[in-house]
Amino acid sequence: MDNMRAGLGLQHIGIIMDGNGRWAKKRGLPRKYGHREGAKAFRRIVEYCDKLGLRYLTVYAFSTENWKRPEDEVNSIMQLLEQYIDEAFERQDENDTVRTRFIGDVSALSETLKEKIARIEQMSQGRTGMTVNVAFNYGGRDELVRAARQLAIQAQQGKLDPQQINEQMLSDHLYTSGQPDPDLIIRPSGEERLSNFLIWQAAYSEFVFMDVLWPDFTPAHLDQALEIFSHRNRRYGQV
């Protein structure tokens, strides 16, 4: 069943892809193997969400805090991202409608990775299907600081009256400008926190926390989350 068109009113889902390291540890494997399996889960969920007719999917792939992890693990994540982009070019099809965007501070990444990110964004720019936001080197607080800094510069240059700054102006300076806020945020792995993910945009999101590690996450788990969402009463502060 096409859940997105079954009266749920869902346009945007956010997913915190958590549990790769624990998946590997449970199997006595290095953490990088968990990230490899997590990348496979990402591909199958993107394909499934596109089939369901979702308009926006934002996945938390690498946070600004993840640089604190062991160097070999960080390097393996960067290599996986390069591999994903390379494979996307190899698999590109004229019938592919999914658009890929990266949100976060890509300036901190290697020149090679920055070039590949720019290429895949350009390649998919004209597509009119689902937009996938890959949050990479992303932090919600960092995003807000950057937005505030841009508004401060405009005010300093006399282009903006500080008294006119409102919520919409701030939203317009976020990475997700022009997109609806996430209706639903899913976090697998059993953890129940936001971890600095879309903290402005998630003001009225519904949350579903699931006791499954990300590499094991399947379309059936997504359907389960959608079923839970369907029973929520979104009041937006009203009675």
Q: Which residues are designated catalytic? A: 18, 66
As a three-state string, the secondary structure of the chain is CCHHHCCCCCCEEEEECCCHHHHHHHCCCCHHHHHHHHHHHHHHHHHHHHHHCCCEEEEEEEECCHHHCCHHHHHHHHHHHHHHHHHHHHHCCCCCCCEEEEECCHHHCCHHHHHHHHHHHHHHCCCCCCEEEEEEEECHHHHHHHHHHHHHHHHHCCCCCHHHCCHHHHHHCCCCCCCCCCCEEEECCCCCCCCCCCCCHHHHCEEEECCCCHHHCCHHHHHHHHHHHHCCCCCCCCC
